[in-house]
A and B are shown apart, each in its own frame.
Chain A
């Protein structure tokens, strides 16, 4: 009974109990902002890859046709240079509008703090982000979508 009433070291005990909570809050803050950073980076890399691909074209019968091989290669290289860990999952030129292409990419975001919660059965080790961008180019003006 005396042991239960003893208040010695209660701050340390309180800290030990609240540590998982502190790590969880820290995890949500840091890993959450990291997730947003990866998302922004993947978005810009995918966009640039798609726009870059549209600049590799041929003109046939006054129609701009994106060259599949060189455009795909350019998209892959642009994506790699803007975001090394991103993977291009799809490159497609529209079958009707041949001046339009779509690039899909994804990246795996590793979590550093949230994985610590695995010991409590609720940890998350990573999340896969996906992004898609469609760009087109016309003959009249050199602008991009």
Chain B
């Protein structure tokens, strides 16, 4: 009975109740911040690769597949400089990184750059639980006419 009525350590108990909630908010904030940052890195990588593509699309003595390799390289180099992301790793069955479509009946072509990465939120236990579902993707498309 004395133990129940005792006020000793009540502050510690209250903190113990509140702490998980505070930590959850803190980790959620950190993870969301890293997620948005990684998305931005992929977006800029796709954009950088498309820029590279626009520059080399008009080179005649270069095949489309060679151009695609150059574009992919530009995207990969950019993504690898992003600090929170892991090494390049394309999940199976997903589209290629860079794709230059054939000309349609109007002579219109399309350059699509897709950058896909697994999300690394920086928290090992969250990574372990959601590892297979955490995929981030950015796509950039450039429609052009070839004369």
Contacts and interface: CB of A to CB of B under 8 A. Distances in A.
B29 interface: yes
A109 interface: no
Given A29-B29, A30-B29, A142-B58, A37 B143 contact: no
A57 B147 CA distance: 9
Interface string A75-97: 00110011000000000000000
B142 A52 contact: yes
B39 A37 contact: yes
A114 to B, nearest CB: 14
Contacts, number: 79
A52 B25 CA distance: 43
Interface in B131-147: 139-145
Interface of A: 8-12, 15, 22, 26, 29-30, 33-34, 36-37, 40-41, 44, 47-48, 51-52, 55-57, 70, 74, 77-78, 81-82, 142-144
Contact of B36 (A9, A37, A74, A77): A37
A33 B142 contact: no
Contacts of A36: 36, 40
5 contacts: A11-B11, A11-B17, A74-B144, A81-B143, A144-B54
Interface of B: 7, 10-11, 14-15, 17-18, 21, 25, 29, 32-33, 36-37, 39-40, 43-44, 46-47, 50, 54-55, 57-58, 108, 139-145
